[in-house]
């Protein structure tokens, strides 16, 4: 609906069936074997007719993470890649020809970006008549300027989120696509976010973790900036002490207390620009919250996949789906349940080397951040909280 799977990973690029099979000469095979022996202590090795070469690592070798990264760098020169797995027979290393990677296409991403920009702009023109915190209606020239600001803000939140993923891919030497923005429906959800497709698996658990967390953190920074601009632009209107008003989340209420000065003892924040930017930054917080949940191929799913066992990650996916349904995001929860059973989570090339200690600490902080976003922004939010199952349950508990 309004959510997004911020990295839709595919483990390998599909190889054209008409691509002629590669033939590796004895000299090329020896270069591969020499590269493996430079970085690993090999117990035994096997040659296959399909150009794959299998190695079993000697149990005496304890360090594998840096060795595998160095080997992967060497294999790029020979046009090969490797995977490292733990088996009943010990550590298993497989070297095989690197599949051809398709070049990133820019036409489709640009068309989708243009369509998303247009729809968000239209949404900015019509949303004030559907949902507003009051205040005088702006004239059309002013409304156009306000809608442009709203469009820039929302595109920046999503675009910076995706830029975080793109930078992480580049830093870890992975080939990835340009962001594919997903247009929505004006007046309802103007965009459903964006996706980036990584055309090859991450090298190890560290890189998988970084790919997952980079987008939410980058997008969160942009969201906080937009929220400050939004509240700074807010106008105020007097209200009576007994007058009811739309619910406002704790985070926005705190920003209002910090940045808004009103001559009225009892007031409400109003203004068309504030209303639109409020929707934009709460949308950004929502994207961050959902993507940090440890579900399937969401950003938090990649983080969890790098941090816990596959079975635990499977359970966390179901728990996350339940949380989405209870919080009112039932469509996303159902999609996660359906797709997680059909499309497996991403597995790094080196699935043996452990996650670094500092990333394990960050994994714990991710849970705290996700909970804080829910409590401070999602709970009692004027756009997302009303009518959710969780709101009903909490109301029932209070009774």
- Average per-residue pLDDT for the chain: 86
Over range 252-263, report the average pLDDT.
88
| Closest of 32, 303, 69, 298 to residue 172, by C-alpha | 69
Q: What is the DSSP letter of 45?
A: E
Instruction: Output 343 or 208, whichever has higher pLDDT.
Output: 208
What pLDDT is stored for residue 136 in this prediction?
A: 73
Task: Return the CATH number of the domain spanning residue range 26-97.
Answer: 3.90.1070
What pLDDT is stored for residue 21 in this prediction?
A: 53
Burial of 139 (0-12, 13-18, 19+ CB in 10 A): exposed
Q: Which ranges of 18-98 does DSSP label H, i.e. alpha helix?
A: 26-39, 65-78
What is the per-residue pLDDT across 32-47, written as a single tens digit (0 to 9) for each? 999 999 999 999 999 8
In the predicted model, is pLDDT for residue 15 greater than 60? no
What pLDDT is stored for residue 386 in this prediction?
A: 59
What pLDDT is stored for residue 28 in this prediction?
A: 86
Out of 48-52, 138-142, 302-306, 341-345, the most confident range is 302-306
Q: What is the DSSP letter of 101?
A: P
What is the per-residue pLDDT across 295-334, written as a single tens digit (0 to 9) for each? 988 999 999 999 999 999 999 999 999 998 888 788 888 8
CA 150/CA 363 separation, integer angstroms: 33
State the pLDDT confidence band at 267, using cuts at 50, 70 and 90.
Answer: confident
Residue 258's contacts (CB-CB under 8 Å, 6 or more residues apart) are 231
State the pLDDT confidence band at 134, using cuts at 50, 70 and 90.
Answer: low
What pLDDT is stored for residue 344 in this prediction?
A: 80
CA 301 vs CA 174, 185, 311, 337: distances in Å: 19, 27, 13, 13
CA 333/CA 320 separation, integer angstroms: 8
What pLDDT is stored for residue 245 in this prediction?
A: 59
Q: Provide the residue ranges of all domains of the chain, joining segments of one domain with +.
A: 26-97, 107-398
């Amino acid at each position: 609906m309004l959510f997004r799977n911020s990295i839709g990973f595919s483990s390998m690029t599909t190889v054209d069936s008409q691509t002629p099979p590669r033939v590796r000469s004895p000299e090329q095979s020896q270069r591969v074997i020499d590269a493996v022996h430079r970085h690993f202590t090999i117990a035994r090795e096997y040659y296959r007719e399909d150009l794959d070469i299998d190695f079993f690592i000697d149990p005496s070798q304890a360090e594998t993470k840096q060795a595998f990264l160095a080997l992967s760098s060497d294999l790029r020169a020979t046009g090969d890649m490797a995977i490292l797995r733990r088996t009943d027979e010990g550590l298993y290393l497989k070297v095989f020809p690197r599949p051809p990677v398709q070049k990133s296409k820019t036409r489709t991403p640009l068309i989708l970006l243009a369509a998303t920009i247009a729809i968000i702009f239209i949404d900015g023109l019509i949303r004030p008549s559907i949902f507003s915190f009051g205040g005088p209606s702006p004239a059309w020239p002013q409304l156009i300027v306000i809608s442009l600001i709203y469009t820039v803000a929302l595109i920046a939140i999503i675009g910076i989120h995706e830029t975080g993923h793109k930078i992480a891919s580049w830093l870890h030497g992975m080939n990835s696509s340009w962001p594919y923005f997903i247009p929505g429906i004006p007046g309802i959800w103007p965009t459903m976010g964006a996706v980036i497709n990584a055309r090859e698996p991450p090298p190890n658990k560290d890189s998988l973790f970084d790919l997952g967390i980079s987008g939410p953190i980058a997008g969160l920074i942009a969201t906080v900036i937009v929220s400050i601009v939004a509240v700074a632009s807010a106008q105020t209107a007097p209200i009576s002490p007994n007058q009811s008003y739309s619910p406002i989340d704790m985070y926005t209420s705190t920003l209002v207390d910090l940045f808004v000065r009103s001559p009225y003892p009892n007031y409400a924040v109003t203004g068309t620009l504030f209303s639109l930017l409020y929707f934009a930054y709460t949308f950004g917080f929502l994207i961050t919250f959902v993507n940090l949940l440890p579900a399937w191929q969401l950003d938090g799913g990649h983080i969890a996949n790098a941090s816990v066992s596959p079975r635990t990650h499977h359970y966390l996916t179901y728990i996350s789906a339940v949380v989405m349904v209870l919080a009112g995001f039932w469509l996303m929860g159902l999609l996660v349940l359906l797709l997680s059973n059909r499309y497996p989570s991403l597995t790094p090339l080196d699935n043996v080397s452990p996650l670094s200690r500092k990333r394990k600490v960050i994994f714990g902080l991710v849970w705290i951040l996700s909970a804080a976003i829910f409590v401070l922004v999602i709970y009692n939010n004027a756009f997302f909280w009303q009518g959710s199952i969780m709101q009903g349950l909490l109301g029932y508990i209070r009774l």
